């Protein structure tokens, strides 16, 4: 099977290649990739090359396919897995395999570590370990982009599950966010912050009573508030407040005042910025848990913490990177119950747009950049559809579809794009 894929050869060395996939083994599956959401982690892997923990040392001669937030259809199933999977089945993949026999040890993951599987490709071979680890997950919902975005949603699900709290006199950690507690989501209106807000609003088992979301960009805060409204949050029993901390001379006092001075049980940091980490530490309540979610690009990233509070107020810190299988299953379950991740998507593009998008991801405004791997399309923001539609009927129709959907991407828009866009 001939495939086209964006492959990593070294630091900042990406190429769009066309090559033949090897003959399928009995314990492998051939799959067609339809969509891939570009993650900041792909930018970090591209920038770091073989220095990245998930990238093999020999990519200069054995390049890997990038992209790990992908979905598609199974094409051919090897005999070993024919009892469980069938051609035509739609799928999502949990990329964090933790597979000890993988190319780079326990951190092996599709999209970083493998020559023949990654999201930025037309066709891939799913290796046996993905199925052995139950990381190939059937998707039965509409469209494909929700299944691509199940992976980032699973990451924030895992983060909330990873938080913990204690009881005086006991050494047993009570896992999870505090039900009915105070939660702060700092630098929280980027793609992953939006996913966290969306999940918190749709959870069925527990939720905070107060959720404060901060940023320093009012336009981003306004967009988040229009997507996930305080009115809808109130219907779910949550007091949701969006706060621009750039407007305050003392952001810590402002945030503490929202809680009546008691602080926050759970604080999530979504930007690797030292002052934001310090701010998070300063607003923790007694037994508060700080979850440092944002992966820094620098291995020497540091921020001071108040260890007086660690000792006397039992404050603590956790960090999470990715979700697990259960988190992915939960993400797909909530999507099946109406959680639409479309609010995360601000750009679409074809496979030809992957290299420049990945290289420049931090400087491209907006949320998720959604790639459709079988089409040729420049990276385009949803808000550019109207202007481009004046000269291109494809964008004119896409604009009509998105405008009747509150300016958001949708399965209807996806279906139209896949049927009418130029093939790669």
Using CA atoms of 241, 226, 233, 244 in order, give the dihedral in degrees to the nearest 10: -10
The yes-or-no verdict on residue 340 having pLDDT over 90 is no
Q: pLDDT band for position 106 (50/70/90)?
A: very low
Q: pLDDT band for position 247 (50/70/90)?
A: confident
Quote the pTM value.
Answer: 0.84
Q: How far is residue 43 CA from its own chain's centroid?
A: 13
The whole-number average pLDDT for the span 52-65 is: 94
Whether residue 326 contacts residue 352, with contact meaning beta carbons closer than 8 Å, is answered with: no
Tokens of residue 86, six digits: 């069938």
Which runs of consecutive H residues, i.e. helices, occur in 175-294? 191-202, 218-227, 230-235, 251-257, 274-282
Pick the most confident of 99-113, 162-176, 319-333.
Answer: 162-176
Least confident stretch, 24-38, 68-82, 106-120: 106-120
Please report the pLDDT score of residue 103 as a whole number.
52
CA-based Rg of the chain, rounded to a whole angstrom?
Answer: 22
Q: How many residues does the chain have?
A: 424
The whole-number average pLDDT for the span 316-337 is: 86
Please report the pLDDT score of residue 25 as a whole number.
97
The yes-or-no verdict on residue 98 having pLDDT over 70 is no
Whether 1-148+340-424 shares its CATH topology with 153-319 is answered no
- Dump strand ranges (E) for 24-82: 29-38, 64-65, 70-77
For the chain, domain boundaries: 1-148+340-424, 153-319
* 153-319: CATH class: alpha beta
- Note the pLDDT tens digit of each residue in 259-314: 999 999 999 999 999 999 999 999 999 999 999 998 787 889 999 999 999 999 99
φ, ψ of residue 74 in degrees (nearest 5): -75, 140
Q: How far is residue 165 CA from its own chain's centroid?
A: 25
Taking each continuous run of H as one helix and of E as one strand, the counts in the chain are 15, 19
CA nearest to 190, candidates 332, 371, 40 = 40
Whether residue 225 contacts residue 211, with contact meaning beta carbons closer than 8 Å, is answered with: no
Superfamily of domain 1-148+340-424: Medium-chain alcohol dehydrogenases, catalytic domain (3.90.180.10)
Name the DSSP letter for residue 422.
Answer: P
């Amino acid at each position: 099977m001939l495939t086209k894929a964006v492959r990593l050869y070294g630091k900042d060395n990406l190429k769009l290649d066309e090559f033949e996939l090897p003959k399928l083994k009995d314990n492998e599956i051939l799959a067609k990739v339809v969509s891939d959401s570009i993650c900041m982690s792909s930018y970090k892997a591209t920038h770091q090359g073989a220095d990245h923990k998930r990238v093999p040392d020999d990519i200069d001669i054995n390049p890997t396919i990038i992209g790990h937030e992908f979905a598609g259809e199974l094409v051919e199933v090897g005999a070993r897995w024919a009892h469980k999977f069938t051609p035509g089945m739609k799928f999502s993949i949990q990329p964090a395999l933790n597979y000890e026999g993988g190319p780079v040890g326990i951190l092996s993951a599709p999209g970083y570590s493998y020559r023949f599987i990654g999201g930025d490709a037309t066709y891939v071979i799913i290796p046996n370990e993905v199925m052995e680890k139950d990381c190939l997950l059937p998707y039965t919902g509409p469209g494909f982009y929700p299944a691509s975005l199940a992976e980032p949603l699973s990451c924030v699900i895992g983060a909330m599950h990873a938080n913990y709290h204690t009881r005086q006199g006991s050494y047993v950690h009570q896992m999870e966010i505090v039900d009915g507690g105070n939660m702060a989501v700092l630098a929280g209106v980027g793609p992953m912050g939006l996913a966290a807000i969306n999940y918190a609003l749709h959870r069925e088992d527990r939720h905070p009573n107060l959720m404060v979301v901060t940023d320093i960009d009012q336009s981003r805060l306004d967009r988040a508030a229009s997507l996930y409204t305080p009115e809808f949050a109130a219907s779910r029993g949550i007091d949701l407040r969006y706060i621009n901390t750039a407007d305050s001379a003392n952001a810590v006092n402002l945030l503490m005042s929202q809680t009546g001075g008691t602080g926050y049980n759970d604080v999530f940091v979504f930007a690797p910025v030292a002052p934001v980490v310090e701010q998070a530490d300063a607003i923790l309540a007694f037994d508060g848990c700080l979850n440092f979610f944002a992966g820094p690009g620098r291995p020497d990233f540091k921020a001071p913490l108040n260890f007086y509070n660690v000792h006397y107020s039992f404050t603590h810190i956790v960090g999470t990177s990715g979700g697990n299988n259960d988190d992915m299953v939960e993400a797909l379950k909530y999507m099946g119950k109406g959680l639409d991740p479309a609010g995360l998507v601000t750009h679409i593009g074809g496979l030809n747009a992957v290299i420049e998008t990945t290289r420049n991801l931090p400087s491209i405004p907006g949320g998720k950049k959604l790639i459709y791997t079988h089409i040729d399309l420049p990276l385009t923001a949803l808000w550019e559809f109207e202007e481009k539609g004046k000269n291109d009927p494809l964008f004119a129709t896409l604009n009509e579809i998105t405008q009747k959907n509150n300016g958001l991407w949708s399965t209807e828009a996806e279906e139209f794009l896949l049927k009418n866009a130029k093939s790669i």
